[in-house]
Amino acid sequence: MALLLRFVLLCGVADFTRSLSITTPEQMIEKAKGETTYLPWKFTLSPEDQGPLDIEWLISPADNQKVDQVMILYSGNKIYDDYYPELKGRVHFKSNDLKSGDASINVTNLQLSDIGTDQCKVKKAPGIANKKIQLVVLVKPSGTRCYVDGSEEIGSDFKLKCEPKEGSLPLQYEWQKLSDSQKMPTSWLAEMTSSVISVKKMLYIRNRVGSDQCLLRVNVVPPSNKAGLIAGAIIGTLLALVLIGLIIFCCRKKRREEKYEKEDVPPPKSRTSAARSCIGSNHSSLGSMSPSNMEGYSKTQYKQVPSEDFERTPQSPTLPPAKVAAPNLSRMVQGAEGQE
């Protein structure tokens, strides 16, 4: 009896599950960042499905450390789309009548955070169904820069390089030459009248969601005279060194001349003080002399003082009165009286 009841329950569940069917297969969708993606999900109901209709979209982020988040929900004839802050305002049901069997959604302005597995669950008791869609968001190649790495002289090797500013891997590169001939023959190079050959190269870079391109102009020029360039550089360096040496020599010579000029000029002397010292020293010996000898001595001593000193002296020195000792004075008086 228990076995029979279990068999009936299993059959009933199987019938209920089959009552609500999905018409859209599981798939993987790739879209470019910033674009709008359409996630299809269509279903059919059976007469046995009489319960309220509930539709729930979930996202399982690519980061396993993050939990599943509700993207949008339909329940009780109302739509709730503010569960997941990163998708708020960017996810919408495509159909205005969800009971018609279309639970598809649109996600606008795709971001890299939208990468993950999206799952839709539809329940209308007793029917239940769900489906998963893998969403991959890629970045288009953009901001590609092309340049020549190496010398563009004839006979030299160089590389054509490009660097896209952004773009999801894997990237495919394709170079094309914008000319009639795919290869320039040697004879054509020799017959060229211009010394510069300009070749245009177009680069196409693409991935699964978009492409970018850049134009590169390669100017092939004759070999340069490297020996002449080296000799010119050496001569220029030597001339610069000579010029610097001359400047240093002239500066040092000028400083030396200024130093000699300062040393040749003697410091100014006070000639008045020199004359006064000479007169004072001569006058100090007058106290021990007689009046008869003072005249000759004074003439002799004053003749020794250079006249130049007195001429340049702004004011003649004033001689202090001569001091004569008392014994000498008495002798001088007696001598005067004897002469009389």
| Domains of the chain with CATH codes | 27-138 (2.60.40.10), 142-181+194-220 (2.60.40.10)
Q: What pLDDT is recorded for position 301?
A: 47
Query: How many whole angstroms separate alpha carbon 159 and alpha carbon 147?
Result: 8
How many Cβ atoms sit within 10 Å of the Cβ of residue 202?
Answer: 14
Residue 305 has pLDDT above 60, yes or no: no
pLDDT at 37 over 50: yes
Name the residue with higher pLDDT: 15 or 221: 221
Residue 287 banded pLDDT, cuts 50, 70, 90:
very low
Burial of 305 (0-12, 13-18, 19+ CB in 10 A): middle
pLDDT for residue 275 = 46
Give the total residue count for the chain.
340
Of 19, 33, 83, the C-alpha closest to 57 is: 83
Instruction: Please give the pLDDT value at position 23.
Output: 82
Give the DSSP letter string of 185-227. -HHHHHH-SSS-EEEEEEEEEE-SS-EEEEEEEEEEBPPP-HH
Share of the chain above pLDDT 90, in %: 34
- In whole angstroms, give the CA distance from residue 17 to residue 127: 5
Q: Give per-residue pLDDT as tens, 181-214.
A: 544 445 444 444 445 566 777 888 999 999 999 9
Q: How far apart are CA 44 and CA 58, in angstroms?
A: 20
Structure tokens at 218: 């390669």
Contacts of 80-89 with CB under 8 Å at 24 or more apart are 84/59, 86/111, 86/113, 86/114, 87/59, 87/114
Query: In a 3-state reduction of DSSP, which class is residue 121?
Result: strand
* Residue reference for tokens 């997941």: 84
The pLDDT, as a whole number, for residue 62 is 83
Closest by CA position to 221, among listed 200, 198, 202, 201: 198
Using alpha carbons, select from 219, 235, 237, 216 the residue that is nearest to residue 227: 235
What is d(CA 264, CA 253) in angstroms, rounded to the nearest whole number? 17
Q: What is the pLDDT of residue 102?
A: 93
Question: What is the DSSP-derived secondary structure letter of residue 48?
Answer: T
What are 315-338's pLDDT values in tens digits? 545 555 555 555 555 666 555 555
